Amino acid sequence: MINTNNTLLEIRNLSVTYPTRRGEVKAVENLSLTVPAGGRLCLVGESGCGKSTVLHAILRLLRPPGRITNGELLFRGRDLRKLRAKEIQGVRGKEISMIFQDPLTTLNPVFPVGEQIRESLRLHQIIPGLSLPWPLDIIRRKQEKEIVLKAMQEVGIPSPMDRYSIYPHQFSGGMQQRALIALALVCGPALLLADEPTTSLDVTIQAQILDLMLKINQDHNTTIVMVTHDLGVAAEFCDTIAVMYAGRIVEIGPAETIVIHPHHPYTRGLLTCRPHIGEKAQQVKPIEGNVPDLTHLPPGCAFAPRCPLAQTVCEQGPVPLIQVEKNVLTRCLQPVDNRRDPSWTWDQIVRI
Ligand SMILES: Nc1ncnc2c1ncn2[C@@H]1O[C@H](COP(=O)(O)OP(=O)(O)OP(=O)(O)O)[C@@H](O)[C@H]1O
Ligand SMILES: [Mg+2]
């Protein structure tokens, strides 16, 4: 999981808050993780646990009034927090790209899709010379259009020539997502941040988009950090899973281990509440209770009020991430034997 020699992105002790009238929303608290070049990491967790906030913080695109209160965001060894506004603009889209949670709000409805992708090339001067005189300007536009058509073809948009000039609403949901991936990749970024890129799609299109992202990762060695609330999607796609709860990482490790032998009761709960084909609705066990109010977090483990294994010690003070096996860190004070007992099933311990 952690490969310090080949690290592309390292987040150290990141904390983000949204000051509100009700108090400070501690959306991300002391979060650290490392992503090697060419790696695929998924941030998984329930709604409101801070996944999007982490991605927005990396690109310094936090929704107002969000602000980073602590931490370092080291990308290729440079702290993105310390870059000036112009420098971070140069990073966005060129070195680090992002697919936002809602595809339709990213694409501008009044511009043809192909032109929107070309705009990114123009802004970052991928073909040098921003205001060349005619006819050099026409040559540059032609070269940019060729790159866009190639990108559209690569992400599986059929007949890119015809689709270059049509508008976002004329694309289906799956095609819009492909167009966004083309937009994100056209400048050849080293890191792609993808916020729930498959959530609004049906399962067949979802599988195609995951395959496409996997292909991009393999063909171009593009590092991908993806957000999802579905552990199944994460298991299929990434090599490392970081499970978040109430703004903190509660478990991080290789995808296979996290899905097959989860240590944290929350991870286990997430797995048990996934529906499986052939199961009746009653067999799906939701995790009882709700995500805590992020303005008034409990002093101990934030999951303790919902955790069937919780004991007094869990509620007394902050719980650190503890190494429980090779490359697996878990924020849980329960003895390993309790958590790994094969007779221990969520069905037995969930209070329903
Ligand atoms: N602009 C804002 N002002 C105040 N609070 C905010 C703002 N944006 C997010 N939050 C709060 O920060 C917390 C984390 O939000 P975030 O959007 O990062 O969660 P998420 O894990 O991406 O959720 P989802 O799966 O629903 O997208 C939530 O409690 C949310 O209500
Ligand atoms: Mg989100």
Q: Per residue, what are the HEC states of the chain?
A: CCCHHHEEEEEEEEEEEEEECCEEEEEEEEEEEEEECCCEEEEECCCCCCHHHHHHHHCCCCCCCCEEEEEEEEECCEEHHHCCHHHHHHHECCCEEEECCCHHHHCCCCCCHHHHHHHHHHHCCCCCCCCCCCCHHHHHHHHHHHHHHHHHHHCCCCCHHHHCCCCHHHCCHHHHHHHHHHHHHCCCCCEEEEECCCCCCCHHHHHHHHHHHHHHHHHHCCEEEEEECCHHHHHHHCCEEEEEECCEEEEEEEHHHHHHCCCCHHHHHHHHCCCCCCCCHHHCCCCCCCCCCCCCCCCCCCCHHHCCCCCHHHHCCCCCCEEEECCEEECCCCCHHHHHCCCCCHHHHCCC
- The pLDDT tens digits for 21-73 are 999 999 999 999 999 999 999 999 999 999 999 999 999 999 999 999 999 99
Is residue 148 domain-resident? yes
Could you tell me the distance, in angstroms and rounded to a whole number, from the CA of residue 213 to the centre of ligand 2? 19
CA–CA separation, 17 and 56 (whole Å): 12
Residue 270 domain-assigned?
yes
- Whether 66 is in a domain gets the answer no
Q: In this structure, is residue 2 part of a structural domain?
A: no
Last residue of a domain, one of 167, 188, 209: 188
Indicate the top mutation candidate among 17, 18, 229 to test ligand 1's pocket, ranked by most ligand atoms within 8 A of CB: 18
Residue nearest to atom 11 of ligand 1 (CA): 27
Residue 107 lies in a domain: yes
The tokens describing 173, both together, are 């949901």
In a domain, 273, yes or no: yes
Print the domain residue range for 317: 262-349
Q: What is the CATH number of the domain that holds 127?
A: 3.40.50.300
Residue 25 in contact with ligand 1 by CB distance below 6 A: yes
Phi, psi dihedrals of residue 330, rounded to the nearest 5°: -135, 135
Compute, in angstroms, the gap from residue 325 CA to the centroid of ligand 1.
Answer: 31
Selection from 238, 229, 219 nearest residue 291 by Cα? 229
Walk across the sheet containing 40-44 and list its strands. Answer: 96-99, 191-195, 223-228, 40-44, 240-245, 248-254, 328-330, 322-325
**Among 31, 53, 250, which is best to mutate for testing ligand 1, by the most ligand atoms less than 8 A from CB?**
53
How many angstroms separate the alpha carbon of residue 104 from the centre of ligand 1?
Answer: 19
Ligand 1: atom nearest CA of 50 is 18
Distance of CA 61 from the midpoint of ligand 2 (Å): 13
> Atom 28 (ligand 1): residue with closest C-alpha?
48
Residues facing residue 92 across a β-bridge: 96
Atom of ligand 1 nearest to the CA of 54: 18
Number of domains present in the structure of the chain: 2
Q: Is residue 86 part of a domain?
A: no
* Residue 241 amino acid letter: I
Mutate to test the pocket of ligand 1, among 14, 52, 99 (most ligand atoms within 8 A of CB): 52
Domain boundary among 169, 188, 207: 188
Distance of CA 48 from the midpoint of ligand 1 (Å): 5
**137, 160, 188 — which closes off a domain?**
188
pTM of this prediction exceeds 0.85: yes
- Residue 247 located in a structural domain: no
* pLDDT per residue as tens, the chain (352 positions): 444 569 999 999 999 999 999 999 999 999 999 999 999 999 999 999 999 999 999 999 999 999 999 999 999 999 999 999 999 999 999 999 999 887 778 899 999 999 999 999 988 877 665 565 666 678 888 999 999 999 999 999 999 999 999 999 999 988 999 999 999 999 999 999 999 998 878 888 889 999 999 999 999 999 999 999 888 889 989 999 999 999 999 999 999 899 888 889 999 889 887 666 565 655 666 788 888 999 999 999 999 999 988 889 999 999 999 998 889 999 999 866 665 555 444 443 332 2
Ligand 1 atom, smallest distance to 63 CA: 1
How many Å apart are CA 331 and CA 344, to the nearest integer?
Answer: 19
Residues 6+ apart with CB under 8 A from 350: 269, 272, 285, 287, 288, 308
Nearest atom within ligand 1 for CA of residue 49: 21
Q: Which residues contact 274 (CB under 8 A, 6 or more apart)?
A: 230, 231, 232, 284
